[in-house]
């Protein structure tokens, strides 16, 4: 598996190990190789790929820095295109906001928290009491699981038919009025 590389610090690892160490997928490792990631041994025809973790880490650091400072190496035309793209994106966001197609993250978070609260309450309040009545005296594990799954499904179906988030939950004006009242 992983062995110590005598030339430099780091370990020699295969593609899967490299992906695992870096928390990325195998296609990401393949993309790194296409972009110049150092390889100890190329794989193929029964031969495993080998990478030195220290060399890959060094390359990744350089690659990340190069990507972050890409604007420093860009031509005037590239910068103009990027500026136009940013202005277009901003105009599209402004239009979506004007059409009320956007919701501030804070409002969405509150509405989502309310919805999950409703789900939690439905599962905690309804499920145990109904399941308990059906399971009294039951000792068959398969039957217990079937009853619990049935009860969970029933609670989730009931919640699916309920509006967990209303327009009022997303209404920014109501929230601002409440905040003003709270601070008064």
Domains in the chain, start-ordered, CATH in brackets? 3-69 (1.10.10.10), 105-183 (no CATH)
**pTM reported for the whole predicted model:** 0.37
Q: Which residue in the block uniquely carries the two structure tokens 């009320």?
A: 100
The string of pLDDT tens digits covering residues 90-115 is: 999 889 888 888 777 788 788 888 88
Average pLDDT on 118-125 reads 81
User: Is residue 50 a contact partner of residue 40, using CB atoms and an 8 Å limit?
Assistant: yes
**pLDDT, tens digit (0-9, with 9 covering 90-100), for 44-54:** 888 999 999 99
* For residue 78, pLDDT beyond 60: yes
Neighbours of 157 (CB within 10 A): 10
pLDDT at 171: 64
Q: What percentage of residues in the chain have a pLDDT greater than 90? A: 34
Q: Give yes or no for a contact between 21 and 12, defined as CB atoms under 8 angstroms apart.
A: no
Average pLDDT, the chain: 81
How many residues belong to the chain? 184
Residues 32, 62 contacting (CB under 8 angstroms): no
The pLDDT of residue 76: 85
Distance CA 47, CA 72 (A): 41
**The dihedral of CA 143, 145, 148, 152: what is its sign?**
negative
The single residue listed with the structure tokens 């793209």 is: 85
Mark residue 106 as left, alpha or beta (left: phi above 0; alpha: psi -120 to 50; beta: remaining): alpha
How far apart are the C-alpha atoms of 89 and 102, rounded to whole Å?
Answer: 14
Q: Containing H/E element for 4?
A: strand 3-4
Q: Which residue has the tokens 């035309």?
A: 77
Quote helix, strand, coil % in the chain, to nearest 5.
70, 5, 25
Q: What is the pLDDT of residues 127-169, one digit of tens each?
A: 788 888 888 898 999 999 998 888 888 888 877 777 766 776 6
């Amino acid at each position: 598996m992983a062995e110590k590389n005598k030339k430099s610090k780091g370990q020699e690892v295969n593609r899967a190990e490299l992906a695992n160490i870096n928390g990325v997928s195998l296609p990401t490792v393949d993309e790194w190789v296409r972009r110049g990631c150092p390889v100890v041994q190329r794989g193929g025809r029964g031969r495993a790929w080998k990478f030195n973790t220290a060399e890959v880490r060094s390359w990744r650091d350089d690659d990340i820095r190069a990507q972050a400072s890409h604007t420093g190496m860009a031509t005037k035309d590239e910068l103009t295109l990027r500026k136009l793209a940013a202005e277009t994106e901003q105009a599209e966001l402004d239009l979506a906001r004007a059409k009320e197609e956007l919701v501030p993250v804070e409002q969405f978070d509150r509405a989502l928290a309310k919805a999950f609260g409703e789900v939690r309450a439905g599962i905690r309040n309804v499920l145990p009491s109904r399941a308990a009545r059906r399971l009294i005296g039951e000792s068959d594990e398969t039957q217990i699981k079937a009853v619990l799954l049935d009860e969970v499904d029933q609670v989730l179906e009931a919640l699916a038919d309920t509006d967990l988030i209303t327009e009022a939950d997303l209404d920014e004006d109501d929230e601002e009025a409440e905040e003003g009242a709270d601070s008064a």
